[in-house]
Chain A
Amino acid sequence: MIAVQDLRVRFGAMEAVKGVSFAVPHGGAFGIVGESGSGKSTVLRALAGLNADWTGRMSVAGQALGPKRSRAFFRRVQMVFQDPYGSLHPRQTVDRALGEPLIVHGIGDADRRILRALAEVALPAASRFRYPHQLSGGQRQRVAIARALMAEPEVLLLDEPTSALDVSVQAEVLNLLADLQAARGLTYVMVSHNLPVVAHLCPMVGVMQGGLMVETLSAADLRAGRTAHPHTTALRALSTELEEA
């Protein structure tokens, strides 16, 4: 479904991503983990078309991607952002946020679709005309997920979708994402610094360090500690230490 080969992204003189390759099968889920500044979010933003300054080859559903994306691409690929407080327009109601993709893509039947989308992410219908400041962090992230699903995409890019939420809400949102994937056959690429979160959702995990993908391994191997690269070992050790603490 998704193939990325030798992706390089620069910000001015600094090369943030230095040749990353991975592939995700249809209906699969691929996790990217790494420390802050390792370039993992940059890979995702380049894939989404938010950063035009990249070289290499990327394709989605067999179609090669250029620097500018077509409207058809945005129907196929959507993204959920890290900060639910920053990803919703402060002056627009939930209704407006969910209606926007429908208007842009000329999809009719807005009322029914919006109500169905709210039900799908387990938000009460009463929250339809609320403003973001009237919602909790977890509710906002559900709205963001519902918005990403409005145009019925095949691929969802998740940029640390749970890291801004507290632990109990994290689990709810993760389960919601797992259920949605099962129900709709979505393909996920998920970025996170939290190994358990990634391993919960993604059977395959890529580890990034300093703009390079140093290791790709299965979630089972990661859990069992069968790591090959010292950075993966270190990340895993740190993660288990934090959990025990």
Chain B
Amino acid sequence: MRRIGYWTRGYGERDAASVTRTTWQAWLLTDAPASRGQAAWGRRYRLWRDFSRNPLAMAGLILIVLLVLAVAFAPLLALQDPAAQNLPQRLAKPSAAHWLGTDELGRDVFSRVLFGGRVTLGMVVAIVLLVAPFGLAVGCVAGYAGGMADRVLMRVTDVFLAFPRLILALAFVAAIRPGIPSTILAIALTAWPPYARLARAETLTIRGADFIAAVRLTGASATRIVLRHIVPLCIGSLIVRVTLDMSSIILTAAALGFLGMGAQPPSPEWGAMIATARRFILEQWWVPLVPGLAIFVASLGFNLLGDGLRDVLDPKQR
């Protein structure tokens, strides 16, 4: 935001503002860093500067930070226990007592959305933590090793890529039993192949580069080359892809919840909340609307964040 003002402000003002910011900025932006740490922080600061110049990306970041804070402090922010029923107060309109109204069992919708965020975002984080390192490892190994290992790993990836995500997740959940752990496993199972392909494509372009040949000429082992020289270059585009995929993971998790295959009642998962409230969509529209908005805001935030990160982290897009 400050950047926009930068051009419109007078010279005097700009100088006054820059004096207070020179010392630490100069330290970060120097051409001759004095230590490893200074060089690394300087690079990070440059990335952050590029990122913060993009207002949409900043909006996405702020949305996500607010959402994470709200969900983390849900017990403090919630008006009441999300499972506490109050049948006389069922399907109440938004009021001072119930900011976003109540659902069909008289439970406070605001509190349920906050606690539901824990379930939904927790699932997303668990899936990403399972999927991204696995896909990265498969892709980098296949790309660097080449030959037989590449063919076997990529055909396995193709097999998983061939299944439609929601259908496989549905079949998987139905075969075991509906619930959060099987939802996480089911989505993870269908979400890793794109990361493996992405990491493999990046590795293939990197491994022929002269700087990798130079590392090979030091006598470094293949493990060292992949972990220390190839993976760091793949991580940027992987982070971008993961952030952009967050919204589709949220939607899949919500869809499974909506179909009754995800989190089970009385757990307040966003998709399941919409499913139980869809009967009242015409008369008490705010009951299904609120979790729907929550899904929308979370997906939008991750998409904006991902777009902004792509501009900064993916050098090919620049």
Contacts and interface: CB of A to CB of B under 8 A. Distances in A.
Q: Do A and B bind each other?
A: yes
Interface in A35-85: 48-50, 69-71, 73-75, 77-79, 81-83
Nearest to B33: A129
Given A50-B216, A74-B218, A75-B219, A129 B32 contact: yes
Interface string B256-281: 00000000000000000000000000
A170 interface: no
Given A49-B216, A74-B219, A130-B39, 11 more contacts: A69-B219, A78-B217, A79-B213, A87-B210, A87-B213, A95-B36, A104-B219, A104-B224, A126-B32, A129-B38, A129-B39
A131 B209 contact: no
Contacts of A49: 216-217
B214 A147 contact: yes
Given A88-B211, A89-B229, A104-B224, A129 B216 contact: no
Interface residues of B, number: 24
A108 B217 CA distance: 19
B220 interface: yes
Contacts of A50: 213, 216-217
* Top-3 shortest CB links A-B: A74-B219, A126-B32, A87-B210
A130 B32 CA distance: 6
Interface in A66-124: 69-71, 73-75, 77-79, 81-83, 86-93, 95-96, 100-101, 104-105, 124
A70 B36 CA distance: 31
B36 A48 contact: no
Contacts of A93: 33, 36, 39
B292 to A, nearest CB: 42
Nearest to B229: A89
A151 interface: yes
A87 B224 contact: no
B34 interface: yes
A100 B43 CA distance: 20
B20 interface: no
B232 A91 contact: yes
Contacts of B32: 124, 126-127, 129-130
B15 interface: no
Q: Main SS of chain B's interface residues?
A: helix
A71 B216 CA distance: 10
Nearest to B208: A86
B217 A74 contact: yes
The residue among B35, B43, B217 with the most chain A CB atoms within 10 A of its own CB is B217
Contacts of B232: 91
A129 B214 contact: no
Nearest to A81: B210
B33 A48 contact: no
A101 B210 CA distance: 15
A134 interface: yes
B68 interface: no
Contacts of A77: 217
The residue among B215, B224, B232 with the most chain A CB atoms within 10 A of its own CB is B215
A89 B31 CA distance: 18
A17 interface: no
A104 B211 contact: no
Contacts of B233: 90-91
B233 to A, nearest CB: 6
18 contacts: A73-B219, A74-B218, A74-B219, A81-B210, A87-B210, A87-B214, A89-B215, A100-B220, A104-B218, A126-B31, A126-B32, A129-B32, A129-B35, A130-B31, A130-B39, A144-B214, A147-B214, A151-B218
Contacts of B34: 129
A82 B32 CA distance: 26
A22 to B, nearest CB: 21
Contacts of A104: 218-220, 224
A87 B43 contact: no
Contact of B215 (A70, A71, A86, A100): A100
B131 to A, nearest CB: 24
B43 A134 contact: no
A96 B233 CA distance: 15
The residue among B32, B43, B229 with the most chain A CB atoms within 10 A of its own CB is B32
A116 B217 CA distance: 21
A153 to B, nearest CB: 10
B228 to A, nearest CB: 8
B218 A105 contact: yes
Contacts of A96: 36
Contacts of A81: 210, 213-214
A101 B43 contact: no
A124 B33 CA distance: 12
Nearest to B35: A129
A37 B35 CA distance: 44
